[in-house]
A and B are shown apart, each in its own frame.
Chain A
């Protein structure tokens, strides 16, 4: 399965600032997915990032708050904009597997704490 590297692994941010999370995959993939896990909650899909097109956002998530870039088939970024304490979460990058896009491989996640 693919190996995914995420940066930063964790960060403490001030309210009102923005932070960009980077996701690097060791192989070319068509679709990359960004998930969020709020404290004590399940993982929730934020958006699907396709190379060469706009990201597709799930209900409740908007591009102004979570802009995504996908410049090539191995890299994507997620920005969390104008952060508030409610954005304190683990943000996870993932890609589909050989046996099907729904068997996802996840990165280690980026734990953001917003003060």
Chain B
């Protein structure tokens, strides 16, 4: 039972354009959502997060949107850069700082120069 799903295994965009990565979840008890970026041979790196009490969080070129009614979140990268090419994981957690994150399968983003 996949509680966090990233339905697009890959995405290709042109440098300078917007990248939109999507994530769906099934558990309404999730109250914190995170995006991680992973380069080959490296561990995932935290990118941005959002609490369930918000619908948007912005950090520089990265914005995460949360639609609780649709159980959907998205990561927008504007403008996209070739260095953004990586695997992006969406993750969710329940209440409390347990360290237990439920991850999606990841989306491979390729930004073409």
Contact = CB atoms under 8 A, between A and B. Distances in A.
Interface of A: 1, 4, 9, 31, 33, 40-45, 48, 58, 92, 94, 96-97, 100-109
B93 A102 contact: yes
Nearest to A107: B43
Nearest to A37: B103
> Among A43, A97, A102, which residue has the most Cβ atoms of chain B within 10 A?
A102
Interface residues of B, number: 24
Interface of B: 2, 4, 32, 34, 36, 41-46, 49, 89, 91, 93, 97-101, 103-106
B99 A94 contact: yes
Contacts of B103: 42-44
A43 B89 contact: yes
Nearest to B106: A42
Contact of B99 (A1, A102, A109): A102
